[in-house]
Structure 1
Amino acid sequence: MKKIVGLTLGLACLAAGLNAQASTSAELIVRGTIKPVACNLSMTGGGIINYGDIPSGQLQQAAFNPLAERTTPLTVNCGNTPARFGLKFVDLQAGSKVPGILNALGAGYTEAHNYGLGTASGRKTGGFAVTLKDLRASTTPLYPIMRSGVGAWQSSDGKVAQSPTQYSWRSSTAIVPAAVSQLAGTIAVRAVINRGQDLDLSRDITLDGRATLELSYI
């Protein structure tokens, strides 16, 4: 019993000491994190453009061989929050470019539009071009615009040059990126196979074009 009384008295004395030094102020802390809009970029079918089997006997030996256009849907979803964003395309097979091959597609293409199709047996397979088409936000049509690096925005016909060129879209006559919460559109690809005489046609050749799409906020 004595030990219990002594403990009780000790706590009473300590409490009295604390009351004698009571603080007359307190700190209020306000915390939170502002995060950028989370936009999800996707392409139907994983972004794979498949030309299937191409008989080697159909290839021209002394000229480039353009293939038909293939497409895949593109979507960007930012939830309910409109955002201004753009896309860059990075060629992962840049070392396999065939200079001048996109001339087979007609006028308006430069080497910046030329994406490599990989190599087979040490020989360059060909190239492909990318075009942005049918852009829209819900039912509102959008029109592609572009800039090089951090330069001024300008109108675009949708042909996609490689990074550092950046692409976005406008919804009015003003050439500035539009803020959208959902974007839908089409990525169109036109591939061109190298001259038959520059390929090893004694074995299978796989078209191996690969490019990364990078979404960035503006």
Structure 2
Amino acid sequence: MIRTPKSLIAVCLLAASSAAMAATTAELTVKGQVVPTACEPSFANAGVVEYQLSHADLNPDATLPTTVAPKNLAFTIQCTSATPVATTWVDNKPEHNDNPSHVNYFGFGKDANGDAIGRLWVQHPGSKALGDGKPVDVIHSTDKTTWTKNNYGQVSKQHFTSFAAEGETTPGAYSVYSGNLQLKPTIRATEQMDMSSALEIDSSLTMEVVYL
């Protein structure tokens, strides 16, 4: 199996304190190398996604988590010729994930005590993408042999995600894969976190392109 590792997403910038902190920012950037291969992945905004939140944006019920508004990030995988590929993902900050054993959750950040503040879910919205500019379905597999429709379009730390002609479950071969990734963070209930200072969003994910 040949893989091309690519750092994809850095999620940053959470100003969350009881005082007004509109001008307080913190930025985390992920950098890496692109190894010469048949397919070249790239991402909008250098793979950096920023959030600006305050305590007022968190759930007023201290016993309930906060569902943060999703954000989209465009991706492209450019191949020199039509090539079937899949992707798999790595959580580079599992200690920042409040449910690290879940195959679809990724770390999101930490509080002043170093405890995880929540989790991040990443998906292809509508379980759709584009293959050479045409709509394709998102499919997934545990072994790269048996593929099924990925109903939610979620990416995974254990499964392989690929792309097929609409209505099909066999990976297609395309020269250009593109579309959006939707990031959907959840922040833990405030009673479960140290709220005495700012919460730090510190999320890092790596997408690997796998040639099929």
What is the TM-score with the length of structure 2 in the denominator? 0.74
Instruction: Name which of 96, 102, 113 aligns with 1:111.
Output: 102
Deviation at 1:153, TM superposition (A): 0.6
Deviation at 1:151, TM superposition (A): 4.4
Between the aligned residues of both structures, percent identity stands at 19
More helix per residue: 1 or 2?
1
What is the TM-score with the length of structure 1 in the denominator? 0.72
* CA offset digits 1:83-129 (Å, max 9, x no partner): 011100111122332239xxxxxxxxx92221121323222111111
Q: Residue in 1 aligned with 2:77?
A: 76
* CA offset digits 1:10-34 (Å, max 9, x no partner): xxxxxxxxxxxxxxxxxxxxxxxxx
Larger radius of gyration: 1
More strand per residue: 1 or 2?
2
Deviation at 1:65, TM superposition (A): 0.4
Work out whether residues 103 and 158 of structure 2, in 8 Å CA contact, stay in contact via their aligned partners in 1: no
Work out whether residues 66 and 191 of structure 1, in 8 Å CA contact, stay in contact via their aligned partners in 2: yes
Work out whether residues 97 and 107 of structure 2, in 8 Å CA contact, stay in contact via their aligned partners in 1: yes
After superposition, where does 1:118-133 map in structure 2 within 5 Å? 118-120=109-111, 121-133=113-125
Deviation at 1:164, TM superposition (A): 2.4
Change (3 A) 1:118 1:146: same
What amino acid maps onto 1:87 in structure 2?
T
Q: Residue in 2 aligned with 1:166?
A: 160
Q: Residue in 1 aligned with 2:56?
A: 57
Q: Residue in 2 aligned with 1:107?
A: none
- In 2, the alpha carbon distance for the partners of 1:168 and 1:190 equals 20
- In 1, the alpha carbon distance for the partners of 2:82 and 2:207 equals 20
- In 1, the alpha carbon distance for the partners of 2:141 and 2:131 equals 21
* CA offset digits 1:47-86 (Å, max 9, x no partner): 122112x11133231110001010010101113x100111
Specify the SS of the correspondent of 1:77: strand
Instruction: Name which of 127, 135, 142 aligns with 2:129.
Output: 135
Deviation at 1:202, TM superposition (A): 1.6
**Structure 1: 5+ residue runs without aligned partners?**
1-35, 101-109
What amino acid maps onto 1:179 in structure 2?
A
The answer as to 2:80 corresponding to 1:88 is no
Deviation at 1:158, TM superposition (A): 4.0
* CA offset digits 1:171-199 (Å, max 9, x no partner): 14331110000111100001111111122
What amino acid maps onto 2:39 in structure 1?
C
The answer as to 2:189 corresponding to 1:198 is no
Which gives a bigger RCO, structure 1 or 2 (Cα 8 Å, sep 6+)? 2
Q: Residue in 2 aligned with 1:48?
A: 48
